[in-house]
Structure 1
Amino acid sequence: MTKPRLGRIGVWSNELRLDDPAGGDEIGAAAAELEELGYGTLWAGGSPSVSQAEHLLAATRRVRVGTSIISIWQHPAARVAAAYARLAPAARERFVVGLGVSHRHMVEGYARPYSAMKAYLDELDAAPDGPHAGRRMLAALGPRMLGLARDRAAGAVPYLVTAEHTARARAALGAGPLLAPELKVVLDDDPASARRSARDYLAFYLPMPNYTNNLLRLGFTERDFEGDGSDRLLDAVFALGDASAIRTRVDAFLKAGADHVAVQVVLDPARRKAGELPLAEWRELAKALPLTG
């Protein structure tokens, strides 16, 4: 299986997903700059369609582009395969289809997610020009989905995880498949303000059992989920501080077995609500992170 070359560090961002064509020029310019800065992959966050990430391919020449993640409930396999097939051959070579099962409270008719993912992959395999195993990755957290990522995809793109989970995922995947965890970072050297930004963002995810069950398996307790997250939990699933502190956390994920770390810059609530692109933070992190090697 030919696997995508993701590079060591990528950018994960909801803001890179094109929801409004009027914002395409700004996002395209940002994507081109991220490529020049040396990031290996641009991950369009949320549950984007292929077309909502396609503009990133048009704005760049070399960098990989991925979806993190396409919900298998919201985007039928036939539609994803057809959209992928419409891409130019060179664009398909740079595109990684990230797939996931989303969350029960967000999907009508949510049932048997592991079986649903297997059936979805069967449909993609049956499509003449759909994304084959080497061009797709799964948002896998638990052992069964990690096994599917190992056997039916190029690897895993876990979200809201720790360095310890990365080590466990590497053991489950084995040496060959790609492991590309997302890591949230708050580039703020004021500890109190960094924690406020992190806690405000984490609150959205704590009601989601897929994430909290995974964190419980890692040794956290229900008390860690109270008050929008304990300090211990924040320190495990975020990188907080200046660029040097964030480099240390990224290195910990790489040392634990990640091939690639998808860095998500978390802004303070006001900037995030405005949909601001964290250009200054991306530029600063590019100087500190191991973008090559």
Structure 2
Amino acid sequence: MDVGRTGIWSIELRTADPGEIRDAAAELDAMGWGALWIPGLGGGDILGDSERLLSATGSTKVAVGVLSIWRHKAAEMAAGHARLRQRFGSRLLLGLGVSDPAAAREAGHDYRPLADMGRYLDELDHAPALVPPGERLMAALGPKMTRLAGQRTAGVHPFLVTPEQTAATRALLGPQPLLAPYQAVVLERDAAAARTTARGFVSMFLSMDHYARNLLRQGFTEEDLADGGSDRLIDSLVAWGDVETIGSRVRAQHQAGADHVCLHVLGSGSPPPPPQWRELSALAR
């Protein structure tokens, strides 16, 4: 599935007023973004929310980044994906994640992430209407999960990664699988204001073990993860500044091996579409 070079990742495209979402999606489609990404959040009607975006757009792909395998049964996802595929063609990319041990315990299971994901993929493969490998991907961070994604899905959607980590992921995946990293951005030239906005979002993930371990693998230290994140950590994970500066980070991700970069605008403080999406539209193609 061709998702283009850039896309918009947005919580608001799931949570805002449905009419506002449809209007925003149509405008983003007209801007030429390759894909609209929505998070799995805590579950909910991810297929219905995807259908709303597919209905409002003509060619832009819709990607889930990502749903928890503990909150969505594989058979239901496969059936829903098949229904939407019949109506809209191959425009829905299902992103899959193993979440964390707490999510597994809530579902009544032990947490064995590699085996758990493998079993979920098996269920998708053997469903009456299977989800084609090219229309699913994974939120892989560690090397074993990344290799599994390259073998059994379209590729990976890594969260909170630097261009250097993107290059390392590309080396693990090889040249063919899709590599679509998440990239947080703040359209703000003042360093203090930009870092405050960025830290307000990033800090919530620093106490989560799987994200913390991945950041340490990327070369950050425990000190970088303390107190909401050091300036070094924030500047490495969040692109801030004007459109040209943010475009430089997008190019760095592409040069490191990314096929597609998902831009999440932080701190918009407004319903969709925030004005920042329009400012960033030069990066859509």
Normalised-by-shorter TM-score class: over 0.9
Would you say 1:64 and 2:58 are equivalent positions? Answer: no
Give 1:112 shift.
0.4
Q: AA paired with 1:194?
A: A
Residue 46 of structure 1: aligned partner: 40
Greater mean alpha carbon deviation, residues 108-117 or residues 233-242: 108-117
C-alpha distance in 1, partners of 2:194/2:215?
A: 21
Residue 283 of structure 1: aligned partner: 278
C-alpha distance in 2, partners of 1:106/1:200?
A: 24
Alignment of 1:61-100 (within 5 A): 61-100=58-97
- CA offsets per residue over residues 77-131 of structure 1, 9 Å max, x none? 1111111122252524111001111123444245001110000000000012131
Q: AA paired with 1:251?
A: R
Q: AA paired with 2:72?
A: H
Alignment of 1:182-197 (within 5 A): 182-197=182-197
- Contact residue 100 and residue 111 of structure 2 kept, 8 A: no
C-alpha distance in 1, partners of 2:151/2:33?
A: 28
Residue 33 of structure 1: aligned partner: 27
C-alpha distance in 1, partners of 2:267/2:272?
A: 9
- CA offsets per residue over residues 38-58 of structure 1, 9 Å max, x none? 100000123452222210001
- Contact residue 202 and residue 228 of structure 1 kept, 8 A: yes
Q: 1:111–1:119: structure 2 CA closer, same or farther, 3 Å change rule? A: same
Alignment of 1:12-23 (within 5 A): 12-17=9-14, 19=15, 23=17
C-alpha distance in 2, partners of 1:55/1:25?
A: 10
C-alpha distance in 1, partners of 2:240/2:82?
A: 40
Residue 219 of structure 2: aligned partner: 219
Q: 1:129–1:257: structure 2 CA closer, same or farther, 3 Å change rule? A: same
**3-state DSSP of counterpart to 2:251:** helix
C-alpha distance in 2, partners of 1:258/1:59?
A: 27
C-alpha distance in 2, partners of 1:88/1:248?
A: 35
- CA offsets per residue over residues 229-270 of structure 1, 9 Å max, x none? 0001001110011111101111110100000000000016xx
Q: AA paired with 1:281?
A: Q
Residue 165 of structure 2: aligned partner: 165
Q: Calculate the aligned-residue CA RMSD, in Å.
A: 1.5
Which residues of structure 2 form unaligned runs of 5+? none
- Contact residue 10 and residue 39 of structure 1 kept, 8 A: yes
Greater mean alpha carbon deviation, residues 58-67 or residues 105-114: 105-114
Number of residue pairs the alignment of both structures matches: 279
Which residues of structure 1 form unaligned runs of 5+? none
Alignment of 1:102-251 (within 5 A): 102-107=99-104, 108=106, 109=109, 111-251=111-251
Q: AA paired with 1:104?
A: P
Q: 1:249–1:65: structure 2 CA closer, same or farther, 3 Å change rule? A: same
Where in structure 1 do 4 or more consecutive aligned residues deviate above 4 Å?
none
C-alpha distance in 1, partners of 2:74/2:92?
A: 16
- Contact residue 82 and residue 130 of structure 2 kept, 8 A: yes
